[in-house]
Structure 1
Amino acid sequence: MAEEWDVVVVGAGTAGCAVAARLADAGRRVLLLEAGADHREPGDFPAELRDPASMRAVVPGHAANWDLEAELVPGRTARVPRGRVVGGSSALYAGSFIRGTRADLDGWAAAGNDLWSYDAVLPVFCRLESDADFGGRPGHGSDGPVPVARPPGPHPLADAFAAAAAELGHPAEPDKNADGPPGYGPVPFTVSGGIRVNTAMAYLSPRRGHAGLTVRGGVRAQRVVVESGRAVGVATTAGVVRAAEVVLSAGAVGSAHLLLLSGVGPADRLRSAGVPVVADVPGVGADTSDHPLVYVPFRPARPVPPPPGGLPVHGVLHATSEGAGRPGDLELLPWLVPFGRLTGSAGATDADELAIGVGLQCGDSRGRLSLRTADPSRQPRLEYRYLTEEADRRRMRAGVRLAAALLRADALAPLVAPGGGPPAAGLGAPVRDAAVLDAAVLDDDAELDRWVRSRLTTAVHLAGTARMGPDADPGAVVDQWLRVRGVTGLRVADTSVMPQVTSRGTAASAVMIGERAAELMTAG
């Protein structure tokens, strides 16, 4: 006989841990399922998941990494790390924790989701955090489960980047989680006591033994069980579990994949894949957004000291390109540690090469997630379709040129090795192969587009695979209470539901979505 629960939450990731914990606090009997390993206490996690200076888990083959494949643009694919462990991707990524902006969230509200305006969710952001720097100020929290702090102390290269940004006219933004104009400022991190705190540590570890919360690792969901139009449970690799409500928090890939496997999605595509149609919901996987990313490399003129607290980045610049629909549509993130050291894959040629990550935060291009097969063990097809729109290519060019201008600024140029940064950043290949970023490439739109395409990657901030919207929106998958259209008793709570990806990283907003989902489920 199948087990019975009040709520089954699928996915103990960045949002799922918050959903499950808060529902248990509200008196629900919650079963939280995780395909990856379950680590009960912070000290139980592997060292590379605790160490904020390590990103070894993003390397293909790590047990905590789903290691997906995505087509970024036709002909160019990339491996996409996603968390397969309690804590989800919050256990893998660098630990930055920047909220979505007022423009982002009020944009969601303007699209018919007034429960998600900036003012509506600000109390949720405050409730979830314990901010060591600004916790006592309005708009912040000081006693929430997620620790937030900025890097300690100065750093010569980080200070030079800050001065270069100011030299180019960009304002200081000392608190990236305040409602201020975009500029350069320190990155807030979920690091405490030298430990990268993921959401399993923050939400689950303090509730181990809670009578209302059961966590099971190593259990992969295969589909939602739907009877007479109502979700009644989840079929898993360990059998069927039944519940009064089902919440999918398996991430922007996993939740949409489960919807499709369960027969919820575009009817014609489901039939083509051999999946019986439960509800014809065309928007599932049809309107994805993310942050395309390129790295502008440079070599320092002298050895760079270890960054404060071992954190690989210190500050970040958010800038606004000409004609942008939202402020801060460009993100420039200088790395203070070579990627090879963070991942344990440093070679002789890149042992001292640093980079500025240039991300397009508010792109117009949209991608798609779809089934390859009805087999739940097969990964879905991910087509990001980055830079499809000319406006996106124009903005990305502006971001790369801004990175080059930072490296040439008086405050920063002395710290860059001669020939080690744009212009004349020769990497040993002809300009026509788009592997050199020099003045000829920077000044030519077509050449710069080719250079970007040759180095294009992803910030791993996928959103909108099951986006929210009002009844009048034919592409909406869930309403603003996160209820799936066409199926009673089924909700989605993770970055899948974002109408559009936030213009900052998605981690903080994902936790907020988890908290807000539980709040909406238990209201009244």
Structure 2
Amino acid sequence: MRRPDVLVVGAGGSGAALAARLSEDPGRTVLVLEAGPVPRFPPGFPAELRDARLVPGAWPDAPTVRAYPVRLTPDLPYTAVRGRVLGGSTTVNGGYFIRARREDFDRWSARAGDARWAYERVLPFLRVLETDLDFGATPVHGGHGPVPVGRTGLGHPAVEAFRAAARELGHPDEPDKNAQGVPGVGPVPTNSAGGERINTGTAYLLGALGRPNLTVLGDCSVRSVAVERGRATGVVADRNGRRTVLEAGEIVLCAGSFASPHLLHLSGIGPAKVLTRAGVPVVEDLPAVGAALSDHPQVVLEWTPRRPVAEPAGSWLGGALHLSSSGGDHPGDLEILQSLVPMAGLVGRRTAVPGRPLALLASVQTPRTSGRLRTVSADPRVPPRIDYGYLETADDRRRLREAVRAAAALLSTSAFGEVSAGVVEPASLDDDGLLDRWIRSRLGTSQHTCGTVPMGRAGDPSAAVDGHGRVYGVSGLRVADTSILPAAPLRGPAATAVLIGELIAHAMCTVR
């Protein structure tokens, strides 16, 4: 294999989009390395990875995920998973595909000092990546992009009750959650069509594999980036039991918010003190790599149906309600997602579990950075120490109480009472202390990690890359995934991950 112009590490939400766009230029050779399997045709993905009613990321023992031990609080261990297959986490997540809010883009633009991150500037890229199956091509939506975006149906009795309950409580309708309207209740945009999850590998790369300038290698684990005299020259990788060095003109890490900072650390790029303790020789002292981590805490409230509920037809997701926490700093920062599959089914690989309760997923999506990621060993097989830092402040606990109470309020309406016999837990919502203890005992995460390689202005010690993903202090090296977002957006970041691939590919094609 001759030396490629660009080597992309990771074929997930960002990496698949970036590699496909770069390879549209026949004069640029692109090599993609994916740690997991790379099916060559859509049927090559197992049926459970294509069924939009299932969530393979809820199965920590699945062969297409990598499980990371993390701590949500200092005394609360948890297992977070990421996709390890073509398409990455877009192959195993819930299919939620809601755009970040205008406020997010404007905040990132100001942080990076790059106007190209402002909402008006990214909107054309949001349109070009999608085919909106409900609205078609409009000034807001795309009609010819690789990712199909369809909204969950509202005809299911439990979804009708959810929407009616939100209206009963005075929440506005939000029929298009990708249009930057007033936060309210509405269907969930998903990257699915006809009940089939369309991951970014299928959407972007499978149709491009015939290009002579594009090579995608699966089951190839990257150990580190090779750096010579301040420039990235290639990667050290394991494939088919052999270790090799693959050189390239430019390296782009698209391995995700856990693996990308870990790879930088293993390459000697990160906080010097952390690297020295881990036994990694320091190449570039870059304190911001892994110094912060942002995600969305989540709690599940289960409710008992009055009568048997039909299996979902197209997606496990029902409706979604976005409302604002008290204080009003970030409109729509509380999210309540409706699951049409019992939690026992989501973790048990089934779309129906008769007699088991259904669930609402309540989360706080206020932009906040509370965690960090530290490499503890020079051995790539040893996972990094990942701390989420949830529930650290009084505001953290208040917002999550508000989200839980808002979900319980929906279940207490007369409208929802048409289908529900009541909430399973918690028994008491009025006492803050009791509710805090209940939340802590059931705390989870939305798996929306960002911020571990944050973008920002040159010279800012809290920044690791610029607005084009270029790593400060090391030429020829970029990061292009959700790790570059300074904080997780006000909505889940799957759609934004794809956007990052589009934006940085465009930058690489137009800015030399």
CA contact (8 A) 1:153 1:308 kept: no
User: What is the Cα deviation at residue 447 of structure 1?
Assistant: 1.2
What's the counterpart of residue 80 of structure 2?
80
User: What is the Cα deviation at residue 343 of structure 1?
Assistant: 3.3
User: What is the Cα deviation at residue 144 of structure 1?
Assistant: 0.2
Do residues 43 (structure 1) and 32 (structure 2) align?
Answer: no
SS in 1 for 2:223: strand
Pick from 299, 319, 339 the counterpart of residue 304 of structure 2. Answer: 299
SS in 2 for 1:314: strand
Task: Specify whether residues 195 and 348 from structure 1 end up closer, same or farther in structure 2 by C-alpha distance, changes over 3 A only.
Answer: closer
Pick from 268, 278, 285 the counterpart of residue 283 of structure 2. Answer: 278
What's the counterpart of residue 430 of structure 1?
none
TM-score (norm 1): 0.94
Aligned amino acid, residue 368 of structure 2? D
Distance (Å, rounded) in 1 between the aligned partners of 2:102 and 2:506 = 21
Pick from 374, 380, 398 the counterpart of residue 376 of structure 1. Answer: 380
Do residues 447 (structure 1) and 452 (structure 2) align?
Answer: no
1:86-97 paired onto structure 2 within 5 Å? 86-97=86-97
What's the counterpart of residue 338 of structure 1?
342
What's the counterpart of residue 70 of structure 1?
70
CA contact (8 A) 2:292 2:369 kept: no
Task: Specify whether residues 216 and 307 from structure 1 end up closer, same or farther in structure 2 by C-alpha distance, changes over 3 A only.
Answer: same
Q: Deviations over 1:277-329 (max 9, x none)?
A: 111110001111001100011111111112232x1112100110111421111
Q: Deviations over 1:203-252 (max 9, x none)?
A: 01111111111000000000000000000001101311101100000000
1:189-204 paired onto structure 2 within 5 Å? 189-204=190-205
Aligned length: 505
163-172 vs 347-356, greater mean Cα deviation = 347-356
User: RMSD of aligned C-alpha atoms?
Assistant: 1.7
1:296-375 paired onto structure 2 within 5 Å? 296-309=301-314, 311-344=315-348, 351-375=355-379
Task: Specify whether residues 365 and 483 from structure 1 end up closer, same or farther in structure 2 by C-alpha distance, changes over 3 A only.
Answer: closer
Distance (Å, rounded) in 2 between the aligned partners of 1:345 and 1:23 = 36
What's the counterpart of residue 385 of structure 1?
389
Identity over aligned residues, as a percent?
49
SS in 1 for 2:508: helix
SS in 2 for 1:69: strand
Distance (Å, rounded) in 2 between the aligned partners of 1:346 and 1:247 = 37
Distance (Å, rounded) in 2 between the aligned partners of 1:69 and 1:129 = 34
What's the counterpart of residue 142 of structure 1?
143
1:363-512 paired onto structure 2 within 5 Å? 363-417=367-421, 420-421=422-423, 425=424, 436-439=425-428, 442-512=429-499
Distance (Å, rounded) in 2 between the aligned partners of 1:83 and 1:271 = 30
Distance (Å, rounded) in 1 between the aligned partners of 2:140 and 2:350 = 41
What's the counterpart of residue 133 of structure 1?
134
What's the counterpart of residue 241 of structure 1?
246
SS in 2 for 1:297: strand
SS in 1 for 2:3: strand
What's the counterpart of residue 6 of structure 1?
5
Q: Deviations over 1:401-452 (max 9, x none)?
A: 11111101121123211xx31xxx4xxxxxxxxxx5123xx11111111111
Distance (Å, rounded) in 2 between the aligned partners of 1:80 and 1:519 = 31
Distance (Å, rounded) in 1 between the aligned partners of 2:100 and 2:407 = 23
SS in 2 for 1:487: coil
336-345 vs 514-523, greater mean Cα deviation = 336-345
Distance (Å, rounded) in 1 between the aligned partners of 2:476 and 2:367 = 33
Pick from 269, 274, 291 the counterpart of residue 264 of structure 1. Answer: 269
Aligned amino acid, residue 279 of structure 2? G
Task: Specify whether residues 18 and 347 from structure 1 end up closer, same or farther in structure 2 by C-alpha distance, changes over 3 A only.
Answer: closer
Distance (Å, rounded) in 1 between the aligned partners of 2:256 and 2:191 = 19
Q: Which runs of no fewer than 5 residues in structure 2 stay unpaired? A: none
Distance (Å, rounded) in 2 between the aligned partners of 1:144 and 1:346 = 31
Aligned amino acid, residue 36 of structure 2? G
Distance (Å, rounded) in 2 between the aligned partners of 1:75 and 1:351 = 33
Do residues 253 (structure 1) and 267 (structure 2) align?
Answer: no
What's the counterpart of residue 181 of structure 2?
180
Do residues 290 (structure 1) and 295 (structure 2) align?
Answer: yes
What's the counterpart of residue 32 of structure 2?
32
Aligned amino acid, residue 108 of structure 2? W
Distance (Å, rounded) in 1 between the aligned partners of 2:464 and 2:145 = 31
CA contact (8 A) 1:365 1:387 kept: no
Q: Deviations over 1:325-369 (max 9, x none)?
A: 211110001111112223326799995211110011015351001
Aligned amino acid, residue 510 of structure 2? A
TM-score (norm 2): 0.96
Distance (Å, rounded) in 1 between the aligned partners of 2:152 and 2:273 = 51
SS in 2 for 1:395: helix
SS in 2 for 1:82: strand
Task: Specify whether residues 165 and 229 from structure 1 end up closer, same or farther in structure 2 by C-alpha distance, changes over 3 A only.
Answer: same
CA contact (8 A) 2:231 2:474 kept: yes
Distance (Å, rounded) in 2 between the aligned partners of 1:363 and 1:127 = 26
Distance (Å, rounded) in 2 between the aligned partners of 1:125 and 1:365 = 25
